[in-house]
Amino acid sequence: MGREIEGVSLRILPLERVIASKRATNRPKDRAALPSLEATLLARRPPDPVK
């Protein structure tokens, strides 16, 4: 995924990949960040339609 900001091209990982990377490294600081990142991911998802 890429974006251009003020004329500078940036490559940005999707949030799902950031979470997967932090799980894989399994460092204490990465484990500490997971709840916040996972909550952000859930908040960004559209709600399930009511059946």
pLDDT, tens only, 9-32? 999 999 999 999 999 999 999 999
Tally the domains of the chain.
1
23, part of any domain: yes
Helix, strand or coil, per DSSP, at residue 9: strand
Confidence at residue 32, expressed as pLDDT on a 0 to 100 scale: 98
- Bridge partners of 2, per DSSP, are 11
Give the dihedral of Cα atoms 29, 8, 13, 1; nearest 10 deg: 180
9, part of any domain: yes
Confidence at residue 51, expressed as pLDDT on a 0 to 100 scale: 65
Confidence at residue 15, expressed as pLDDT on a 0 to 100 scale: 95
Q: From residue 7, how far is each of 2, 3, 4, 10, 44 by CA, in Å?
A: 12, 10, 6, 10, 27
20, part of any domain: yes
49, part of any domain: no
Q: Which domain holds residue 28?
A: 2-44
Confidence at residue 36, expressed as pLDDT on a 0 to 100 scale: 97
